Amino acid sequence: MSPALHELLSRPAPDVAPRLLGAVFVCARDTGTVALRLTEVEAYGGQQDADLPDPGAHTFRGRTARNASMFGPPAHLYVYFTYGLHHAVNFVCRPEGTGGGVLIRSGEVVLGEETATRRRLATRSSHPPFATLARGPGNVAQALGLTLDDDAAPLVDLGATPDPVARAREAVAEREGTVWSGLALAEHPAEDVRSTARTGVSGEGGTDAFPWRFALPGEPTVSPYRRATVKRRRTR
DNA sequence: GAGGCGATTGCCT
DNA sequence: GGCAATCGCCTCT
């Protein structure tokens, strides 16, 4: 892979995340190819020796079997399974070798709309509106066809171009018939980026102390903000 | 070895 | 706005 993406993802996640908005994330699978123009991401920091320990991150309590890939080389995927039914995907970052990542929260489907729709219909009773095909982390993973099998998979660097969508299309054609994931960066960073507290993160990590959710304003594909669910004791 | 609960989603009221 | 669904990681006993 060329050094550009690797160099970018070697930086701390909060620096990387806003730069990913507008980039195009391609996942080519046997079951179809889908590409997303990223509109919403969240940064998750490294462990104790990062500048700012991140209590909202999976890395916070150290390396485990589940989060091992987050401590691996940058420019790889970290896919995890949660709530017994959803997958979510991160790009692994590496601030000073402490682990970290950028959660892909939402994107606009720019390639493979039919495939994405078919995958999403597997768990829905109604046809998903276009803007919701990849809105929310669980929906992103489902639309792209990502599962735990894709954890630690490498991210192919498709370069930085003025037209990442076109670049993604070219790459899909070039690599027809193979299974791969890749990222085409936008040549220029998005000018208008909104940062807020992270969605669904409980405790201190979900407050304004960590304004590490980044989104493109005005995009219909950006997920609504939700607070972390309040813990309720099970009543037998 | 057991139990709590999560970087969520979609349907129901 | 409430809450069920559903599984496995992680913590504590």
Give the phi and the psi of residue A52 in degrees, each rounded to 5. Answer: -130, 105
Nucleotide at minimal C1' distance from the A234 CA: B4
> In this structure, are residues A89 and A125 in contact, taking their beta carbons and an 8 Å threshold?
no
Helix, strand or coil, per DSSP, at residue A79: strand
Q: Is the CB of A81 under 7 A from strand C?
A: yes
> In this structure, are residues A233 and A207 in contact, taking their beta carbons and an 8 Å threshold?
no
Q: What is the pLDDT along chain A (236 residues), one digit of tens a residue?
A: 456 899 999 999 999 999 999 999 999 999 999 999 999 999 999 765 556 789 999 999 888 989 999 999 999 999 999 999 999 999 999 877 688 999 999 999 999 999 999 999 999 999 999 999 999 999 999 999 999 999 999 999 999 999 999 999 999 999 999 999 999 999 999 999 999 999 999 988 999 999 999 999 999 999 999 988 765 544 43
Domains of chain A: residue spans and CATH: 4-200 (3.10.300.10)
| pTM across the whole model | 0.95
Give the phi and the psi of residue A131 in degrees, each rounded to 5. Answer: -65, -20
Structure tokens at A24: 């195009």
Q: Is the CB of A54 under 7 A from strand B?
A: no
DSSP E strands, chain A = 24-29, 32-44, 77-82, 86-92, 101-111, 156-161, 180-186, 194-196, 213-215
